[in-house]
Amino acid sequence: MHGIDKLHLGAAYYPEHWPQERWAEDIALMKAAGFTVVRMGEFAWSRFEPEEGRFAFEWMDRAIAMLAQAGIATVMGTPTAAPPAWMVQCYPEIVRVDATGRPQQFGNRCHYCVSSPKYHDLTRRMVEAMAEHFKDNPHIIGWQLDNEFNQECHCGHCRADFQAYLKEKFGTLEELNLRWTTDYWSQTYSDWTQIELPRGGHNPGLMMAYRQYVTEAYRRYAHLQVECLRRFIPQAQWITHNLMGWFGLYDHYRLSAELDLVSEDYYVGSGHVDAAASAAVWDLMRGMKHKNFWLMETQPACVNWAPVSNKLNKGEARMLAWQAIGHGCDAVLYWQWRSALNGQEQYHGSLVDQAGLPRPFYEEVTELGDDLAAAGAVLAGTRVETPPVAIVNDYESRWSLEHQRHHKDFDYVTELNRWYKPFHDRNIRTDIISPEADLAPYRVVVVPYMAVIDDARALRLKEYVEGGGTAIITCRTGFKDHCDAMLPTRPPGTILQELTGVEVEEYYALDRTVAVSAALFRGSAQYWAEKLKTTTSARMVETARFESFNGWIDGQPAVTTHLPGRGLVYYIGCVLDDVSMRKLVDHILTFKMIRPAIKDLPPGVELCIRINDAGQKFLLLVNTTPDTRRVKFPPNQHEYITGGDYEGDVNLPGYTVAVLGERAPAVAHSAAGAAAAD
């Protein structure tokens, strides 16, 4: 695995769009901005293979060499997201088919069938040709597979492939019929070929299996490319794929397993940065492999596809980059370098316009380049210290709840982010992890809406809590198995009933809010409430109750606390409002004595911590607001961007960052001097 010896700054670059005599001007501007990396090649199949079997890589060799002379490394993309016109003409069977049976029209991208054997063959030939050609190029530091896996296919081959997948998964039709309860509505199958790809609503077992199949189809396709690359490229060159945050077509944890590192494409779209929402995405990406990640694409001021493609405020994108770095990002790349003269994204933001001249945003990126030149060396090779809190994210539970919301306004990702926000706003660092992740490192684990449960998941939680951990388990947990079938026991399932001390007698989609009262808070529940029956005894505390509502849950427990073993478990039998959730989180953090490393930071100032192998910690204070904030620095701190030694009260201007590391004892500047330096 390639060692990260610097924090990288760069952009997606498409030299194939421009005459070669223009490249030197582009590269000079990149160097002046502080670029150290570009990503290239991911849409260049028609240039790499202009006709079948004839490869042309020399133009890319020249671009890589020119960039390298300026100290800029290359991440090479495999171009498989954009199969060329000659290929579609020669092999129409590779084209993706939508749910209505209509083939995808050439001229967009990702118009291929991810399971097509012929496309696999064509991909293998291209990736192997690239790997063999570029394998000895020392200026390529990594490879990106394809670009933003994001489509599904309903062609005849995919249907047959899905049927083969089900046969391998279930073994017999009898088992499939049993697990999917196909006696319901006379859905029983007597032949594998009778099973269709779901279009719209369908049997929950079929819909869940289809999402699992799509995950497997993309995992196999990624594996094919990884195998081709690894046969040729040196071990020092890493392999990644650029994910898209909360995109939910497939299970990102399974797809990421074989990658060396995860990369993310993050766009604000309309409006402005929501600091808690962007922080959650960074923690989601870091949690994929519990390792640092790359921001492979982010917007330079604006996009072209949002309902209102407004530009970010001056300094806002620079702040977003530093927030990502604080959460474990090792590289920030903008999409894209220069506006293309034609194509579907003409109005998308860029650093250089169609005339080849720097746009106003170029200045902001240059400032970020100066930041990294000053502070990047001490952060290179550091990682995010293990947080005290984890939130469990489960794709199968998400799919299950999306397929049967039961309340139109209940959204899994929105609600998971609502649990993330009170920790973020208190500067309590948080991981977002898989249900199969180790829980032992965390002091508090939040398990929101984990509808899909099995004994292994439940026992992992039980072991964690009984060993001294604190778990927050919410409503809508423990309803289903991995086939999306109802469990034969009441939620949250037998093991979690024992752990939480409650079982769910009934559940209610709420047509209005219901008041909830407790010693800790007086608030309300929205969307969902459960009638809880306590199943254990003296170690159970009813923390909150529903007030008058529908006669069924009036006066019934809404939040319970149970003390099994040496730990503590809260069961939240409703969707709490924001204020109540914050009050409950505050109570738990106080009880667990979990505090931020710097107390009393003003609202909007986010504290991040990166640590090196020697145990030295670096504090990143990111002002996510446009306004100056007065911040108290800890004693004996060196600030790496300004190069000053400060302590005490310091002005942190809007959208800026301070990178702090403890210095050797010396006479510190006064707070007034530090403020003046700002």
Active site residues: 148, 297
Among 378, 381, 364, 271, which residue's Cα sits nearest to residue 319? Answer: 364
Residue 59 exposed, middle or buried by CB count within 10 Å (0-12, 13-18, 19+): middle
Q: How far apart are CA 299 and CA 335, in angstroms?
A: 6
DSSP code per residue over 414-445: HHHHHHHHHHHHTT--EEEE-TTS--TT-SEE
Q: Which residues contact 56 (CB under 8 A, 6 or more apart)?
A: 47, 48, 49, 50
Q: How far apart are CA 662 and CA 444, in angstroms?
A: 29
Residue 639 exposed, middle or buried by CB count within 10 Å (0-12, 13-18, 19+): buried
465 neighbors 443 (Cβ within 8 angstroms): no
Q: Which amino acid is at 638?
A: H
Q: How far apart are CA 260 and CA 229, in angstroms?
A: 12
Q: How far apart are CA 475 and CA 531, in angstroms?
A: 10
DSSP state for residue 548 in the 8-state scheme: S
Q: Which amino acid is at 328?
A: G
Residue 627: CB atoms within 10 A of its CB come to 11
Task: Provide the 3-class DSSP secondary structure of residue 112.
Answer: strand
Residue 419 sits at φ, ψ, to 5 deg, of -75, -30
Q: CA separation (Å) from 498 to 281, 440, 540?
A: 33, 20, 11
- List, as own/partner pairs, every contact residues 172-181 make where C-beta atoms lie below 8 angstroms and the sequence separation is at least 24, other chains included: 176/205, 179/205, 179/481, 179/483, 179/485, 180/204, 180/205, 180/206, 180/483, 180/485, 181/205, 181/485
Q: Which residues contact 507 (CB under 8 A, 6 or more apart)?
A: 406, 475, 476, 491, 528, 529, 530, 531
605 neighbors 631 (Cβ within 8 angstroms): yes
Angle at 623 between CA 620 and CA 626, to 5 degrees: 160
Residue 599 exposed, middle or buried by CB count within 10 Å (0-12, 13-18, 19+): exposed
Residue 34 sits at φ, ψ, to 5 deg, of 90, 20
Q: How far apart are CA 500 and CA 482, in angstroms?
A: 22
Q: Which residues contact 490 (CB under 8 A, 6 or more apart)?
A: 497, 503, 504, 505
Order of strands across the sheet that contains 140-144: 238-240, 140-144, 73-77, 37-40, 8-12, 329-334, 293-298, 263-266, 242-243
631 neighbors 602 (Cβ within 8 angstroms): yes
Among 296, 591, 555, 276, which residue's Cα sits nearest to residue 432? Answer: 276
Answer positive or negative: Cα dihedral of 289, 264, 622, 662: positive
111 neighbors 104 (Cβ within 8 angstroms): yes
Among 267, 266, 347, 270, which residue's Cα sits nearest to residue 307? Answer: 270
Residue 402 exposed, middle or buried by CB count within 10 Å (0-12, 13-18, 19+): middle
The whole-angstrom distance between residue 612's C-alpha and the CA centroid of its chain comes to: 24
DSSP code per residue over 17-44: GS-HHHHHHHHHHHHHHT--EEEE-TT-
